[in-house]
Structures are given as structure tokens and as C-alpha cells.
Amino acid sequence: MPRILSIDYGQKRTGIAVTDEMQIIASGLITIPSATAIDFLKDYFAKEKVEAVLIGEPKQMNGEPSESASIIKGFVTHFTNHFPDMKVIRVDERFTSKMAFQTMIDSGLSKKQRQNKGLVDEISATIMLQDYLNRKQF
């Protein structure tokens, strides 16, 4: 069964998570510079079967698009130009960074380790993907 990939795209860094082949568990894959995201994905898709890509959709508390929504919309356009046959699923990413940070605290990571913003992005992508998998099962 092909994997599902999740992208937490940001101006500087992009966190990426992926499912196992049975699409049961989401795991953090990597955090990369955002400028290299398309090249990384080309290489990854050449090696692994992926049936869909989740891309976070940043929203404010009232449901309106956040300030970074236009940046991510540009990335989605760029992505679909490079991968026109790939299914793209937009998911609400509200609270994922806060949840990722709390996960780091709960995991016992030191204050210095919690300052690793790349790890926060990767965990955020993992949270988005696991939430999607949990909802998909019902």
C-alpha cells in the first residue's frame, strides 16, 4: 500500500512526516530548508510510493486564513505544477506547533533540545498526519 506524506511548510523550514506502508502510524521523516522542498520530494517520490500528500492550512481562531496562508498557497501551486497527478489534501494546522512543543516537554526533552525549531516542524507534520489517519479510520 502506498504511503501518505504530510508537509508542514514554512518560510524557512519544512517539516515532513510519512506513514508506514499500512497507513496506520505517522512518523517524523525530516525537516529541510523550504527552498529545497520540491527537489527533496522529487527524490523521495522516485524511491517511495506515495498516494497522497497532506499540506497544512494555517487558520486563525475564527477560521479565516492566517498571515502565512498566502505563502503556503504559493507552495501548493508550485507543488501541483511539479506533481500534477499527486492527490493533495489540505488540513487545518491550528495548534499543531503548540501540540508539538508540548509533546517535546512531555517527552522529557531538555530546554536546549526544545529550541530546535526544525524538530517542532517535523513533529507538527507528524501530528497533522496522525490526526488525519485517526479520522480516516472512522
Cell numbers describing residue 42: 522529487
Closest CA to 25 of 138, 134, 135, 120: 134
Q: Are 8 and 14 in contact (CB under 8 A)?
A: yes
Domain 3-136 sits in CATH 3.30.420.140: yes
> How far is it, in rounded angstroms, from Cα 2 to Cα 14?
22
Q: Are 15 and 125 in contact (CB under 8 A)?
A: yes
Residue 53: what pLDDT?
98
Residue 122: what pLDDT?
82
> How far is it, in rounded angstroms, from Cα 138 to Cα 63?
24
Burial (CB < 10 A; 0-12, 13-18, 19+), residue 49, is: exposed
Q: Are 9 and 34 in contact (CB under 8 A)?
A: yes
Q: Are 55 and 91 in contact (CB under 8 A)?
A: yes
The whole-number mean pLDDT for each consecutive block of 10 residues of the chain, a chain of 138 residues, reads: 94 95 94 97 98 86 70 94 97 67 65 67 87 80
3-class DSSP state of 31: strand
Residue 121: what pLDDT?
80
Cell numbers describing residue 8: 508542514
Cell numbers describing residue 41: 520530494
Bridge partners (DSSP) listed for residue 65: 59
